[in-house]
Structure formats: C-alpha cells, structure tokens
Amino acid sequence: MRADTPPSVDDRVELGLELLAHLEHAELSLPDAVDRIETVTSDPAVTREILETAERRGIIERDGDTVVPTSGDYLSFEGDVVSKEGEFTCQRCGAGITTGYFIEFDAGEHGPFGSSCIRKVTGRESD
C-alpha cells in the first residue's frame, strides 16, 4: 500500500484486530475499546466489524459492555513503538505534536500518537 493510498476496510480491520490483541488491560469498557478502535477508523460499520471479528477469532471476550483482551501479547515500547520527529497530528486527540509515536504491527504502522496518547491507546495509562 502506498503512503498516499487510504487503507482499505480489510487493512483497517486487521490493524484494529492487532491493536485489540495488544492492549495492556485486564478488561475495559466497550466505550473505552471503541475509543482505541477509533484511532484506526471512525466508520461505525468497520468498528463493529473489528469487534465482531475480534470476538470470533478469540482476540477478545465480551460480557455485556465489558471487553476482555485474551492474548496477553503486549507491545514492547523498545521494539514495537518507534518515534519520529516532524510535524504530526495525534491520531487519538488531534493535538499538534513534533514527536510522533508509531506502533509497528504486522498489518502496518499505526500512528502518530503523542506521548500520553500512545500510553492510553496501548493501555499503559488510564484516561
């Protein structure tokens, strides 16, 4: 995929699945899970597809409004998160940032995020 080509629905679903598989939460509310997924897509149909596919594949378990990640496969900030200097807009909060943090997934690079948002997106820090 070229950098100027928007990601396909399948690309966004795979990226969302990897994000859910690497969350460092014992559990989180459905709205908090959707908040993380919205860093991948703002399309409600794609968000729903990500959640349903994650549940079908056993990446998460859902109990009402609670989402429980099942993999225990956490990100390594030393190996899976890279920082780049430049002019960026945080993909989670929309703030202008000069250091962007990007998560390196098999499905592609995800970011940029600011320093506090990268911790929130991965579950290392609560809102």
The band of 73, judged by pLDDT with boundaries at 50, 70 and 90, is: confident
Mean pLDDT, residues 101-106:
91
Cα separation, 25 vs 39, in Å, equals 17
Cα separation, 55 vs 61, in Å, equals 6
Question: Whole-number mean pLDDT of the chain?
Answer: 87
pLDDT in tens, 14-69: 999 999 998 887 888 999 999 999 999 999 999 999 999 999 999 999 988 999 98
- Give yes or no for residue 75 having a pLDDT over 80: no
Contact 62, 45 (CB under 8 A): no
Q: Which amino acid is at 24?
A: E
Which pLDDT score, from 0 to 100, does residue 2 have?
Answer: 41
Q: Which residue has the higher pLDDT, 102 or 120?
A: 102
Q: What is the CATH number assigned to the segment(s) 9-69? A: 1.10.10.10
- Give yes or no for residue 1 having a pLDDT over 60: no
Hey, what are 55's tokens?
Answer: 């549940």
